[in-house]
Amino acid sequence: MSLLALAYPCISDKDYQWIQEFREENDELYHGRVEPHFTLVFPVFNQRPETFIEEIKTRSSNHRRIEFAIRCAVMEKDAFTPYWHVLMVPDEGYSHIVKLHDDLYSGKLAEELRMDLSFIPHIGIGNSIEQWTCKELVDQINHLDMEIKGTINEINVVEYHEEYAETLEKIKLSPNR
């Protein structure tokens, strides 16, 4: 069991269905276990849920709702497994997500930050141990001239079990002015 901070994006039903259909075919690791999301804090194993929740509330209190637009996919090699991942990366909203991520990893979670890995805000939609399979999927997506617009309105503190993610608390971000 681990604790994470995830942002389930608010997107159109059409975009959600497209992502889920794509994931059903191409995301053998996480489809059916967790909804499409941006990971803001990666798995933490040595925190009590109450402490983790309070820290996420404290560190996110100055952040506002984030609007984003995704227009492309990229691929990345997993640092811990033989898998490659297909990631939908936002053009707009990117810096706001990075800043929220960085704030969440200050304070009590600072020691949890993996300094050896770059943070790329993304929604993971596919994976394979075959890098060329992922390259073909990325090329396929990037030729669609698609755009997924949405918002991040809240942070979900999640307890991740082997087969599913359970939301323990939803923390609202301030509305934009």
The 10s digit of each residue's pLDDT in 78-125 is 988 999 999 999 999 999 999 999 999 999 999 999 888 899 999 999
Pairing verdict, β 165-172 and 123-128: unpaired
What share of the chain has pLDDT > 70, as a percent?
A: 99
> Residue 116: its pLDDT value, please?
87
Mean model confidence pLDDT for the chain: 95
> Residue 24: its pLDDT value, please?
98
The 10s digit of each residue's pLDDT in 13-43 is 999 999 999 999 999 999 999 999 999 999 9
pTM for the full predicted model: 0.94
What share of the chain has pLDDT > 90, as a percent?
A: 89
Position 177 pLDDT exceeds 60 = no
> Residue 1: its pLDDT value, please?
84
In Å, how far are 41, 52, 126, 131, 154 from 45, measured between CA atoms?
Answer: 12, 10, 25, 30, 22
Q: For 176, how many CA atoms within 13 A lie in the half-sphere containing its CB?
A: 7
> Residue 65: its pLDDT value, please?
97
Q: What's the rounded mean pLDDT across residues 57-67? A: 97
Quick one: pLDDT band at residue 55, thresholds 50, 70, 90? very high
Quick check: 137 and 26 in contact, CB under 8 A?
Answer: yes
CB count within 10 Å of CB 16 equals 16
